[in-house]
Structure 1
Amino acid sequence: SLYAASKKANELMAHTYSHLYNMPTTGLRFFTVYGPWGRPDMALFIFTRKILAGEPIDVFNHGHHRRDFTYIDDIVEGVIRTLDSVATPNPQWSGETPDPGTSKAPYRLYNIGSNNPVELSRFIEIIEERVGKKAEKNLLPLQPGDVPATYANVDDLIDDVGYKPSTTVEEGIANFVDWYRDFYKV
């Protein structure tokens, strides 16, 4: 996907800078962030608004793609935990058996995600349960350039900084819907 290519290009530029100037660099990969005060153009905002208004929602890939939805508080905790973990070179790094999260340069990558992909159809069901209303769905094919699933392997985050995101999608959506109703007076 073009989106993934742009992210990888950023990581490669950061790695090159780290290598050339011996500057510790840490990259953080956030997986499908959601929660209060998020972007109103994201699925959770759109679905919640439209379900409450009785408007149909567009559901791509017929709701079968899976996302590693990650609640904002878990993202923030992951960022805070990695702040004090300055990237160092990995002396065992080898091009023959590369570790994509480390390098001979002082460079490090961490995935921050729930480590628990959820099918979009289930995500929508949880919203429906929380708002007390069924969604009218326009079931559509997978969009060009989209991927059928995302999954965050957070083993390095656990090993290096002792953290694994833990907010369930049920908890996160409940928090969001409560915030949404209060903020928008719905």
Structure 2
Amino acid sequence: ASSIFHEQPIKVFNYGDMKRDFTYVDDIVEGVIQVLDHLPKPIFSFDHQVKTLTPGCSNVPYRIYNIGNNKPVDLMEFIEVLEQAIGKKAKKEFLPMQPGDVKETFADTSDLHQEIGFEAKTSIEVGIPQFIEWFRDYYGYGTRP
């Protein structure tokens, strides 16, 4: 967002042919709050012959959840929605795929949905304009032209 406001180029890897999972901050907060109301049960597994805990098990109640949107979005669509919210076209520097990068990533939230019933609800069409409104206010960019 800052680069677009300052009319600086943004690097677009794999020539924009990427998908990423974008999650609005309010959805993350809501997910954390819902998890707090669902205390996990201990998973205790003791190997009596070796006298050690089985890896991944504990008598301490804990669970690890991915909180995300679980809906990968085309990078170019994300940039277009960002441009609309800002009211400026991004200067794009299209680059090849970076070593070690992957074409598509997303959060696997199946455990969270199955055990808690939580799903992120904010689409990029709703979340990005809200983010840009906050961004303008916080960094003093004024209102949309």
Shorter-chain TM-score: what band?
0.7 to 0.9
1:129 aligns with 84
Larger fraction in helix: 1
Q: Which has the higher contact order (CA 8 A, sep 6+)?
A: 2
The CA deviation string for residues 130-158 of structure 1, in whole angstroms up to 9 with x for no partner, is 11111111101122222221122322212
- Structure 1: 5+ residue stretches without partners: 1-47, 92-102
Instruction: Determine the C-alpha separation between the residues in 2 that align with 1:80 and 1:151.
Output: 22
Instruction: Determine the C-alpha separation between the residues in 1 that align with 2:81 and 2:108.
Output: 24
Shift in Å, 1:69 = 0.5
1:152 match: secondary structure: coil
Instruction: Determine the C-alpha separation between the residues in 1 that align with 2:120 and 2:62.
Output: 22
Bigger shift: residues 144-153 or 134-143 = 144-153
The CA deviation string for residues 156-181 of structure 1, in whole angstroms up to 9 with x for no partner, is 21221121110111111101111111
Residue 74 of structure 2 is aligned to residue 152 of structure 1 = no
Instruction: Determine the C-alpha separation between the residues in 1 that align with 2:42 and 2:69.
Output: 27
Instruction: Determine the C-alpha separation between the residues in 2 that align with 1:162 and 1:110.
Output: 12
- Structure 2: 5+ residue stretches without partners: 45-55
1:67 aligns with 20
Residue 7 of structure 2 is aligned to residue 54 of structure 1 = yes
Shift in Å, 1:111 = 1.7
| Letter of the 2:39 counterpart | V
Moved over 4 A (4+): none
- Which residues of 2 match residues 78-89 of structure 1 at below 5 A? 78-89=31-42
Q: TM-score, normalised by structure 2?
A: 0.78
Shift in Å, 1:76 = 1.0
Larger Rg: 2
- Which residues of 2 match residues 144-183 of structure 1 at below 5 A? 144-183=99-138
Instruction: Determine the C-alpha separation between the residues in 2 that align with 1:67 and 1:88.
Output: 33
How many residue pairs were aligned? 128
Please, what is the CA RMSD of the aligned residues?
1.8
Shift in Å, 1:64 = 1.4
Q: TM-score, normalised by structure 1?
A: 0.62
Aligned-residue identity in percent:
50
